[in-house]
Structure 1
Amino acid sequence: MPPHDTPAGPSARSRLVQAALRLFAEKGYEAAGTREIAEAAGANISAIRYYFGDKAGLYRAAFTEPMADLPARLNRERYAELPLAAALGQLFRDFLEPLKRGEDFRLVMKLHIREMIEPTGAWRHEIDAEIKPHHDALAMLLRRHLGTACPDTDIHRLAFAIMGMAVHFYAGQEIVAAIQPEILMDPAAIDILAERLSGYALSMITGEARRLAAQQQHAGG
């Protein structure tokens, strides 16, 4: 049996990942020691080498695994088949789904923010696996709606601005909780938030379409 595993209850590996998530999020990679993590997990320090190879391997597991059991959140073909309003609604519902995980996700987000401040290189995987596919899916929708004449830089500006609305609720969870906790109170509230963000995004896209039309009219006149 692996180090400190028991027939019942969470495995030593899962306890180590959870303890590492909490301590890395609170202290950062350098300050959180492997012995401290092992003690918090109720596991032998040798279990870290057994399961993860080293501290860096444990960090990668803590950074990526806690949300790994979520269903696949992105289906770009599905968005392409929907009208713009429906596609935006689905995109925001998919993007905000992890917020329904409560405390676990709060720790994941805290660790991700710390990674921005004290980078270890773990963000590269997150960008490639999650952030860029969402951005690309939205950019595809915008190109389809606004037309290929729209400069690519403008498409990306608009995509970043739209998704920035949702990202704020990730990075600013504690701020939202302090000012208006009802917004993220439960899964139903998060679904309402996705619906509202979809409406706001439609207004932004409508405004950009008007700007482009005026620009083209001016150029033609």
Structure 2
Amino acid sequence: MVQPNSNEAKNNTARSKLVIAALHLFAEKGFEGASTREICELAGANISAIRYYFGDKAGLYRAAFTEPMGDAPCNSNIETYASLPLPEALTLFFREFLDPLKRGEELRLVMKLHFREMIEPTGVWQQEIDAEIKPQHEAMVSLLKQHLGLKRVDIDVHRLAFAIIGMAVHYYVGHDVVAAISPQLLSTPKGIDTLADRLAGYAVAMIEGEAKRRLSELDDEDN
């Protein structure tokens, strides 16, 4: 096995410290309010490290905004979803989607930064939509099109995709509410995996309901 050299490991650690420090301060003060000097002091890094790793303050902000959440389910998984039975495909989707919830305090800071970005936009949110949210939606739409046996995607497929993904999104945007009402839901990694499994089951029922609705409409047209 090839081991990373000490310089590479050191660089990765220094970069990660900058991202986490930036996440804390950007979430608390916003892009304009958080200074690069403050971020470097919190990370224990030289001010030149920002240019070295991220190019500039905006690059560091983008890293803090996106990297702590990890990779999201996206178009690259469409073939995997398509190869699985519907329950298994949905379970995989939700497990990947909800995995960042296991990061605890880091997740809370990410959501705080995302909410702040909506109020004080820098343009990063639109990039997030294009790079992560839209591909997630397209992956779900593709899965629904396949399992509903459709030749084309219509508006109801998009409605259903938003409804299914929205079940999982609620646990991000309403994280504090969920934790206050039923903290055991998100308190352990196993609990989060169980939540993903349950959401997959609910989604299967929603898809079956949509299939029945479409069949009923066809019967009405024939009669």
Paired letter, 2:34: A
Residue 117 (structure 1) aligns with: 119
User: Match for 1:62 among 57, 64, 69?
Assistant: 64
2:182 to 177, 180, 183: 180
C-alpha displacement at 1:11, in angstroms? 4.3
Equivalent residue runs for 1:42-53 within 5 Å? 42-53=44-55
Q: Partner residue of 1:38?
A: 40
Q: Distance in 2 between matches of 1:193 and 1:167?
A: 12
Could you tell me how far 1:207 is from its partner in structure 2? Answer: 1.7
Determine the structure 2 residue equivalent to 1:161.
163
Cα distance in 1 for partners of 2:73, 2:145 equals: 24
One-letter identity of the residue aligned with 1:88: L
Q: Is the 8 A contact 1:150 1:212 kept in 2?
A: no
What secondary structure does 2:31 align onto? coil
TM-aligned CA distance change 1:13 to 1:81, over 3 Å = closer
Distance 1:149 1:211, change over 3 A: farther
Map 1:138-153 onto structure 2 (within 5 A): 138-148=140-150, 152-153=154-155
Partners of 1:84 and 1:131 in 2: CA distance = 21
CA distance 1:138–1:16, change in 2 (3 Å): same
Letter in 1 for 2:128: E
- Structure 1 residue runs of 5 or longer lacking an equivalent are none
8 Å contact from structure 2 (residues 86, 147) kept in 1: yes
In the alignment, residue 120 of structure 2 is paired with which amino acid?
E
- The answer to whether the aligner puts 1:205 opposite 2:210 as a matched pair is no
**1:71 and 1:205, CA in 2 relative to 1: closer, same or farther beyond 3 A?**
closer
Query: What TM-score results when the alignment is normalised by the length of structure 1?
Result: 0.86
Deviation at 1:34, TM superposition (A): 1.9
Count residues with an aligned counterpart. 215
Q: Does residue 97 of structure 1 match 2:109? A: no
TM-score by length of 2: 0.85
Query: Given residue 30 of structure 2, which amino acid in structure 1 is its aligned partner?
Result: G
CA drift at 1:19? 0.9
1:108-162 deviations in whole A, cap 9, x for unaligned? 2222232222221212332233222221121112111222267511101100010
- Runs of 4+ with >6 A deviation: 7-10
Q: 2:101–2:172: 8 Å Cα contact kept in structure 1? A: yes
Report the Cα offset of residue 72 of structure 1: 7.6
Task: Mark the runs of 5 or more structure 2 residues left unpaired by the alignment.
Answer: 1-6
